[in-house]
Structure 1
Amino acid sequence: MTGFLSKWFGKAKAEVPIESLELTTIASDSKKASGRREPPTALNWSQAEYIPLPPSPPTWEVDGRDEFHREYSDPLMGPIFQAGFKSQNTKVLKLAVGLSPAQRQGRAGEVIAKAYSKLIVQRVKSGRLGSAAKQCVEMFELVPDHVKDVDRRRFNRILGLMDKAGKKHDYKHVEVSGPSSIPLFTVSDDVPWTLVGERKLQSNEQPDSTFEIAAMDANGIWLIDRAAFSEDRPGAKAVLRRTDRHGLFVGEKALLHDVYRTGATAGGSSIAIMDSNGVLHIYDAELNIIAESNLREDPRVVDHFRTIKTNYWGEFKSQVRAVDSAPGGDRYIFTLADEAWCCATDGVALWGVMMPLKEGWKRVLGRSERFGAGQDVEAALRLFGLSLPVDPADIKRKYRKLAQIHHPDRNPDDPTATEKMRSLNWAFEILTGVDPTTLGFEESDITYFARTAPDHVVELDGFPLEITLTEGTPQDWIYAASFSANGGAYLATYSGKIILVSRKGLPETVYDIGTCPSEIIDVGQYTYFLTPTRLYVVENKTKLVALLDVFRQGRLFVSHAGFGLLSGKRLQWFTKTGVKVGELTARDPIRVIHAAEGGAVVQTRRHQIEVQGLVI
């Protein structure tokens, strides 16, 4: 393959195909009883288009975990956290007195405020109002940044109870907005939406809190009551409910199995559910069962465990990381460690693939560990004179052109050349995740993956088994799988590679984002990759048109008109290309969103608003 994958600088050279191994011998000391009846195909994506995207920061780099561990190990701060974890609230408050104001910030402040709140509630319940009021004042003074309106209102209620009981005190009420004074719904400035029809829901209209949204597709919404609280039927372990895009009830079904994993493609109207016993159930939009398969007894799974000797962790259900149903409901996917199988509803395998091993394979071009925030990506694009949408080939061409101009070897008399080259390398690394210093400046033939020789290779009934004498897990497990809009599938690995395979299971495109996505949504022209910290919007399978930092920004849901991020009381809405349209904030947590004539309906537990102009 020439171009971006096989060539970074200069003209492409002839490509050397990777030869397949023709093996006919079996090791004499092999303990395998026999080979696999239906082995998966080892994926060889050397001919696929490789698209490196700005690496997604791992969660632990942005959630303050390192700071927490430093505080937890601190001899003065550590006991605060340890007491908080054990709900030793009185001990937390005694320890907090010895901390400086700076030390009572951050996570430590949260632990202290939580301890105060719990003790105050306990004292109120036991009638010790004076003690409760005193602790409220201490809380306001000790951790003011962690005091919430609910704490202030609680204090005022305590004073009211003391006044009513005739108990003398010197405390004064604090100013705080009452719940009734806070608007039920507000929208951001300059947003093209209009709020109309705000009303209180009748008891029979209120969203059922026992259900959670499992998936949204082109025609409706899947909701699941995982504990069957809404169902009195004996033996029911869960309840599956279906509504259309306008929130109208389609149907409900009591399930005699629990729900362990789910998968539903955005372009279809069926859902795949695997229970904790390993049985896969596929339901159509009318909640009819269209396929069932006991994956524990699937011959491909049985052979996997019988013929592959490795140090797996967890039980069977933990190794099946993803299931999904095709848009037409005629196929399903399940993953098993580093394998993925696509089957027809009768269980016949249409294709099965296996990821390349970690050991026995090597990456030829250096993959960087560097990642940047959204503003770093924007700065890197500006340095190259580019903007979104951007094609990886454009990044390569700009880098090569600027490197030829500013490289120190070509500018020995320019004292700024080295710093300019560092800036170019930084920008290239931020945008691609590839360390350019691992590449030769002049012509370089680069193949994304190249195979190295294992210690031993044997063949079992035509299936090559490679043995490397190293410790650790050699597989790159598949942690996410989703059907594409055109009938292919996305397979995402723990290392952060997303492989788009064709309807026949052949690799077409390899995306590298450094972190495994939690969601992959393909709606045709646009594909969305969501990790815990970043959202990628890719147009026509190749062009990155938007990149959003989304740590703790909420759940993603996609429609034909754009996409939204829902987090508690806030809904953010974006165009299909990632341009923010606006946001809606509710006083109470948002429970339901569905389409309406010329807009959308948003519901909290007790109230509803129609947002005209918000087309979902």
Structure 2
Amino acid sequence: MVYVSPVIGRWYRKQRICGIPLIVVEELSNRQKNNCLSGYHGYDKLLDAVNHLLEFEKRGIPTIKPLPSEFLSHFAGKRDQLEELCVKKKKKEQIHIPRQIDLDRIPYIPLPPSPATWEEWKDGTDELKSEKDIFQIVDSSGWKLTESRKLEKEEKPGTFFKEIRITSEGSLFIDSKGKNEKYSGCKSSLMKRNREGNVVKEVGLDHDIYRIATSPLNDYYAFMSSGGALYAYNGKLERIFEHQLSQDPRIVAHYESTIPTWGTIKSHIRTIDVSTEGKDYLFTISDTAWCINRNHESNWGISMPLNEGWERVVSRITTDVPREEIVNAFSELDLRMPATQEAIKRKYRELAFKWHPDRNKDINAKERMQKINNAFSALTGVDPNSLEIREKTVFDYRKRPDYTFDIVDIGGTTLGVTIATTMFGFPNDWIYASGFADDQVHVYLGSYAGKIVKVDPKGIPLLVYDVSNTPRWIIDTSDYLYIQTDTRLYIIRNSEELVDIKDIKRKEKLIVGDEGFGLVGNKFLKWFNEDGQTIGTITTKDPIRAVYLSRKKVTVETRQHRAVLKIFDA
């Protein structure tokens, strides 16, 4: 009887190969898993895995269950058969093993932490809205109101369209519960309007809608039903893809794994997406993401770290640090946005050498150093009370029980940051936001812990951002990356350059157009150019139902009225 680690058992439990049962062992430590078996996957690697198990048996590793003495001869007689089976299995089925993120091999970019909440929410701050006029321009520095009128009866979308999404060709109205009487026999319905707000097409669907994926960067849509079926549609509202995720071997493997599960499939699949032209599809199951092609074959799979979790991530501060204080923090370090993390660390290094009390006997040095630490904390999320500064001759990233700041002086001066922590509670860091970039090959995965991983076309993680709070929207337009949490919007350029941040102190949803982006609240719309400069704000007396974006024009629609705003040329 062969015993395998949870890594292999996770995917092969309850299976028999050449009459050899595979049994899951729970006692392996993470170090042993990583060092000996985590790299093995697929039937073609089973031989190597078994050889390693036999070697551990000889070495007497206590966490490996003893192998029967007759196994060696039995296995030797089955070797040729097993090798032949490997070849056949490769042709008949695909092995579904996700890549485990190695945090020691990818850049880590801590951004100013996103607060869990704002005090204004607790105080019940009134909603931003128009008190008298149907539409009111609050800030007209970059646009003007050119039209305001009541909608005709045929222009008013049905109240059953509860969800409206911006796409590259207009807006998509979604009736997810099948309340549209026009399609009484259908379980849901869609209506597409162009950039001017005119109806293009309306269809009824034979499935309900539980998850929704649309993008302002293309005109393709993905939906998942409450039963776990994935559907995709093109801009003509024609179905181009269908896949029963409940029967997908990757999903089945997850439910047969050693990872605790509960509830139905729809509870575990948090995000879905479709690329331009419907070539590739994305879905996540708990802490794992899969990218598949039209033939349901895996392009790649990737899992967030388990157990020890994000060991290179410090205990992030949770205080409410508004944008004004972050701007001041940049000034304290003689910087301003846009700025990269390298620039922040480099400037901190320079000022720390200058003002650290052990190196500077000025009576104001201690106070100045505290301000520098506080500024660095606001910009990176590192608690200044935990900083330890010392001189060293060698530095690299490594795991430690606590984190420190190491100042290195070898001829010139360099500064590195060693950061580590242990995640407590449930070990899975679920993926709550995801999406294809504008290039349609890179993918972003945002976790509950506030980590956003950028993945290349082969499923290899390129870098990880840390915003300390669960992301809701991640949109990469090629020129800019927008990351929105419930309390903050980050604007990033060239992967690492923080251009600006916007505090979100009311419930606001990010929408992105060709030449800028907006934050839509219940009764207001704030509009900005691509790098975050304010164009203007419009408030409404009634809740906003839809927004249409076209070149140099933004159309805002309530249940009864429509306003058109023209954006000035820069």
What is the TM-score with the length of structure 2 in the denominator?
0.75
User: Residues 370 and 429 of structure 1 are in contact (CA less than 8 Å); yes or no, is this contact kept in structure 2?
Assistant: no
Equivalent residue for 1:278, pick from 228, 242, 263: 228
- Give the C-alpha shift of residue 313 in structure 1: 3.9
Matched, 1:493 2:442: no
Equivalent residue for 2:436, pick from 479, 483, 489: 483
- Give the C-alpha shift of residue 360 in structure 1: 6.8
- Give the C-alpha shift of residue 353 in structure 1: 0.8
Query: Equivalents in 2 of 1:345, 1:407: separation in Å?
Result: 59
User: Residues 164 and 545 of structure 2 are in contact (CA less than 8 Å); yes or no, is this contact kept in structure 1?
Assistant: no
Partner residue of 1:44?
102
Query: Equivalents in 1 of 2:208, 2:254: separation in Å?
Result: 25
Query: Equivalents in 1 of 2:313, 2:175: separation in Å?
Result: 48
User: Residues 599 and 614 of structure 1 are in contact (CA less than 8 Å); yes or no, is this contact kept in structure 2?
Assistant: no
* Cα deviation 1:466-495 (Å, max 9, x = unaligned): xxxx99421211111111122110011111
Structure 1 pair 62/501, CA: closer, same or farther in 2 (3 Å)?
A: farther
Query: Equivalents in 2 of 1:397, 1:404: separation in Å?
Result: 11
Letter of the 1:441 counterpart: R
- Give the C-alpha shift of residue 592 in structure 1: 2.5
Structure 1 pair 595/301, CA: closer, same or farther in 2 (3 Å)?
A: closer
- Give the C-alpha shift of residue 227 in structure 1: 2.4
Q: Which runs of 5+ in 1 are unaligned?
A: 1-17, 31-35, 65-105, 111-144, 150-176, 452-469
Partner residue of 1:6?
none
Structure 1 pair 592/354, CA: closer, same or farther in 2 (3 Å)?
A: closer
- Give the C-alpha shift of residue 223 in structure 1: 1.6
Letter of the 2:379 counterpart: L
Letter of the 1:484 counterpart: A
What count of residue pairs does the alignment treat as equivalent? 465
Partner residue of 1:419?
367
Matched, 1:25 2:53: yes
User: Residues 553 and 565 of structure 1 are in contact (CA less than 8 Å); yes or no, is this contact kept in structure 2?
Assistant: no
- Give the C-alpha shift of residue 545 in structure 1: 0.5
Report the 3-state secondary structure (helix = DSSP H, G, I; strand = E; otherwise coil) of the residue aligned with 1:56: coil
* Cα deviation 1:281-302 (Å, max 9, x = unaligned): 1111111111111111101111
Equivalent residue for 2:121, pick from 63, 77, 86: 63
- Give the C-alpha shift of residue 579 in structure 1: 1.2
Larger Rg: 1
- Pairwise mapping of residues 482-521 of structure 1 onto structure 2 (< 5 A)? 482-486=435-439, 487-521=441-475
Letter of the 1:593 counterpart: V
- Give the C-alpha shift of residue 555 in structure 1: 1.6
Report the 3-state secondary structure (helix = DSSP H, G, I; strand = E; otherwise coil) of the residue aligned with 1:63: helix
* Cα deviation 1:27-71 (Å, max 9, x = unaligned): 4399xxxxx94211111142222211001001377632xxxxxxx
- Give the C-alpha shift of residue 567 in structure 1: 1.3
User: Residues 260 and 276 of structure 1 are in contact (CA less than 8 Å); yes or no, is this contact kept in structure 2?
Assistant: yes
Partner residue of 1:188?
138
Partner residue of 2:293?
344
More strand by share: 2
Bigger shift: residues 401-410 or 431-440: 431-440
Letter of the 1:25 counterpart: L
* Cα deviation 1:99-129 (Å, max 9, x = unaligned): xxxxxxx67xx9xxxxxxxxxxxxxxxxxxx
User: Residues 40 and 353 of structure 1 are in contact (CA less than 8 Å); yes or no, is this contact kept in structure 2?
Assistant: yes
Partner residue of 2:501?
547
What is the TM-score with the length of structure 1 in the denominator?
0.70
Q: Which runs of 5+ in 2 are unaligned?
A: 1-31, 38-51, 55-63, 68-93, 402-422
- Give the C-alpha shift of residue 371 in structure 1: 5.3
User: Residues 115 and 318 of structure 2 are in contact (CA less than 8 Å); yes or no, is this contact kept in structure 1?
Assistant: no
Structure 1 pair 389/60, CA: closer, same or farther in 2 (3 Å)?
A: closer
* Cα deviation 1:425-483 (Å, max 9, x = unaligned): 111011011346445433463427689xxxxxxxxxxxxxxxxxx99421211111111
Report the 3-state secondary structure (helix = DSSP H, G, I; strand = E; otherwise coil) of the residue aligned with 1:267: coil
Query: Equivalents in 2 of 1:557, 1:471: separation in Å?
Result: 35
Structure 1 pair 598/394, CA: closer, same or farther in 2 (3 Å)?
A: closer
Structure 1 pair 597/377, CA: closer, same or farther in 2 (3 Å)?
A: closer
Percent identity, aligned pairs only, is 36
Query: Equivalents in 1 of 2:400, 2:436: separation in Å?
Result: 28
- Give the C-alpha shift of residue 552 in structure 1: 1.2
